């Protein structure tokens, strides 16, 4: 646990929810209150969650609003839970995260509590994954690989129609059909699908466009699969771009450049290396091969995002792999995902989720896919 100078108070409905799950093992759809003080931990949860919370946690005092002797109206008021818990413990000052809601913060202050807003991460140790966490994230990453393989099988089995659309089982193969196949496989693997990107050609110029409509031969098809495990709550993240049929030379060169950029970035990954070094390794490959980045036009083009991000109980968590301060640490799990995006050419991205080690890195789940299928 992180050393703090005072009691730590979290409100778990939003950004703090992942931290509460990390600290206690419990997560709920509705707001819960977490307090840590002098090595003791408390959770206040709705009445209907009380036995589930007690079963999921150990070493945590789990209370319901009823245990705090609240009036009937205050029982539905999470701010009142906090005030009652802090009053009972005679706690007059608390540390909160920057994402703590300002409305609750002001209310606590009006009641005489002193609030300190933490500057950094509340649990910086969340960045360093334990062996159990590594296994959990690896399991999700293997599920993503299985789902991608399923999508590749569909694309392989598809025929190219004279109009360049793809036909699969007698129907036009669409982004939606590919998303469905990917989602079904993720469900079978115990994961929650959420958003799935299967975007073709021009659509993939927007890195976060999910894609819709018929897929086309000869165009890049970006498949970005980031499932969350239904029971552990951990995420995985995997992207491959493939072309059905043959790619034109310009597309093939860009595709090769993205693969080379990922290889170059991965080549720099090691504990102690600056995150900016990894990002610049990818940038350098693109620059050397003549792929310019222009962020200022109406449609940003080139390598228009960072090289990666941490993955854990949140899909985007620390660290960020970009032109920012900071160094890699052993035990971090991060994506390495350079991409190129040009109107007229389409979008291309390649992403793996890896474990940073003292000597380098390793895949959580390797994934071999040809560029053309």
Taking a C-beta distance cutoff of 8 angstroms, is the pair 261, 338 a contact?
yes
Per-residue mark of binding to a second copy, 229-258 (x: CB under 8 A): -xx---------------------------
List 76, 111, 171, 246, residue binding a second copy (CB under 8 A): 76
- The helix/strand/coil state of 100 is coil
Are 68 and 44 spatial neighbours (Cβ–Cβ below 8 Å)?
yes
Which is nearer to a second copy, 38 or 72 (by Cβ)? 72
CB of 15 to a second copy, least distance (A): 6
Determine the size of the site formed for a second copy (CB under 8 A): 65
Give the chain's end-to-end CA distance (angstroms, integer): 48
The residue range among 22-30, 246-254, 260-268, 362-370 that interacts with a second copy, by the rule CB under 8 A, is 22-30
Question: What DSSP state is assigned to residue 324?
Answer: S
By CB under 8 A, tell whether 28 contacts a second copy: yes
For residues 206 and 277, which CB has a smaller minimum distance to a second copy in the complex? 206
For residue 52, state whether it binds a second copy (rule: CB under 8 A).
yes
Q: Which H or E run includes 335?
A: strand 333-336
Output 28 or 215, the one with its CB closest to a second copy. 28
Closest approach of Cβ 178 to a second copy, in Å?
12
Which is nearer to a second copy, 110 or 359 (by Cβ)? 110
Residue number, 115 or 161, with CB nearest to a second copy = 115
What order of strands is seen across the sheet that includes strand 8-11? 60-63, 40-44, 33-37, 8-11, 93-96, 114-117
Per-residue H/E/C for 216-241: ECCCEEEEEECCEECCCCCECCEEEE
- Taking the complex as a whole, the smallest distance from the CB of residue 233 to a second copy amounts, in Å, to 11
Q: Any bridge partners for residue 351, and if so which? A: 239
**296 sits near a second copy (criterion: CB under 8 A):** yes
Name the segment binding a second copy (CB under 8 A); options: 100-108, 134-142, 158-166, 257-265.
100-108
Instruction: Tell me how far, at minimum, the Cβ of 121 lies from a second copy, in Å.
Output: 12
DSSP 136-200: HHHHHHHHHHHHHHHHHHHHHHPEEPTTSBEEETTEE-BHHHHHHHHHHHHHHTTEE--SEEEEE
- Which of 260, 322 has the CB closer to a second copy? 322
Query: What is the rounded distance in angstroms from the CA atom of residue 348 to the CA atom of residue 372?
Result: 13
* Per-residue x/- track, 179-208, a second copy (CB under 8 A): xx--xx--xx-x-xxxx---------xxxx
Strand partners, 241: 222
Phi, psi of 173 (to 5 degrees): -80, 125
305-324: which residues touch a second copy (CB under 8 A)?
Answer: 305, 315-316, 320, 322-324
Rg (the chain; Cα; Å): 24
Least separation, in Å, of the C-beta of 204 and a second copy? 11
* Under rule CB under 8 A, residue 99 binds a second copy: yes
Provide φ and ψ at 256, rounded to 5°. -65, -35
What is the closest distance, in whole angstroms, from the C-beta atom of residue 3 to a second copy in the complex?
20
| 194/267 with CB nearer a second copy | 194
Place of tokens 């959580």: 364
Q: Is 298 in the site for a second copy (CB under 8 A)?
A: yes
Residue-by-residue DSSP string for 162-174: TTSBEEETTEE-B
Q: Which two tokens stand for residue 184?
A: 């079904």
Q: Which residues bind to a second copy, rule: CB under 8 A?
A: 13-15, 28-30, 46-52, 54, 64, 66, 72-73, 76, 96-106, 115, 117, 176, 179-180, 183-184, 187-188, 190, 192-195, 205-210, 230-231, 295-296, 298-300, 304-305, 315-316, 320, 322-324
């Amino acid at each position: 646990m992180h050393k703090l100078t005072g009691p730590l108070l979290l409100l778990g409905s939003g950004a703090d929810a992942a931290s509460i799950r990390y600290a206690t093992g419990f997560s709920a759809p509705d707001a819960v209150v977490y307090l840590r003080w002098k090595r003791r931990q408390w959770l206040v949860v709705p009445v209907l969650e009380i036995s589930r919370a007690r079963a999921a946690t150990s070493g945590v005092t789990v209370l319901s609003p009823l245990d705090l002797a609240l009036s009937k109206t205050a029982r539905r008021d999470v701010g009142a839970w906090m005030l009652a818990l802090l009053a009972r413990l005679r706690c007059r000052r608390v540390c909160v995260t920057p994402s703590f809601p300002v409305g609750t913060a002001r209310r606590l202050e009006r009641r005489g509590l002193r609030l300190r807003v933490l500057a950094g991460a509340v649990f910086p140790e969340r960045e360093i994954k334990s062996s159990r966490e590594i296994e959990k994230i690896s399991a999700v990453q293997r599920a993503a690989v299985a789902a991608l393989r399923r999508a590749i099988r569909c694309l392989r089995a598809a025929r190219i129609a004279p109009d360049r659309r793809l036909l699969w089982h007698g129907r036009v193969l669409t982004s939606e059909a590919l998303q469905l196949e990917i989602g079904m496989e993720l469900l079978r693997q115990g994961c929650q699908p959420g958003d799935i990107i299967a975007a073709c050609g021009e659509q993939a110029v927007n890195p976060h466009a999910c894609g819709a409509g018929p897929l086309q031969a000869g165009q890049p098809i970006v498949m970005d699969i980031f499932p969350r495990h239904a029971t552990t709550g951990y995420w995985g993240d995997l992207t491959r771009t493939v072309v059905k049929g043959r790619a034109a030379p310009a597309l093939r060169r860009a595709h090769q450049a993205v693969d080379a950029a990922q290889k170059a970035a991965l080549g720099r990954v090691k504990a102690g290396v600056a995150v900016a070094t990894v990002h610049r390794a990818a940038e350098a490959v693109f620059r050397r091969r003549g792929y310019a980045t222009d962020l200022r036009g109406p449609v940003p083009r080139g390598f228009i995002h960072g090289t990666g991000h941490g993955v854990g109980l949140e899909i985007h968590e620390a660290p960020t792999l970009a032109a920012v301060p900071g160094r890699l640490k052993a035990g971090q799990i991060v994506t390495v995902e350079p991409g190129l995006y040009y109107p007229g050419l389409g979008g291309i991205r390649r992403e793996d989720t890896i474990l940073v080690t003292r000597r380098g890195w390793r895949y959580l789940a390797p994934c071999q896919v040809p560029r053309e299928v």
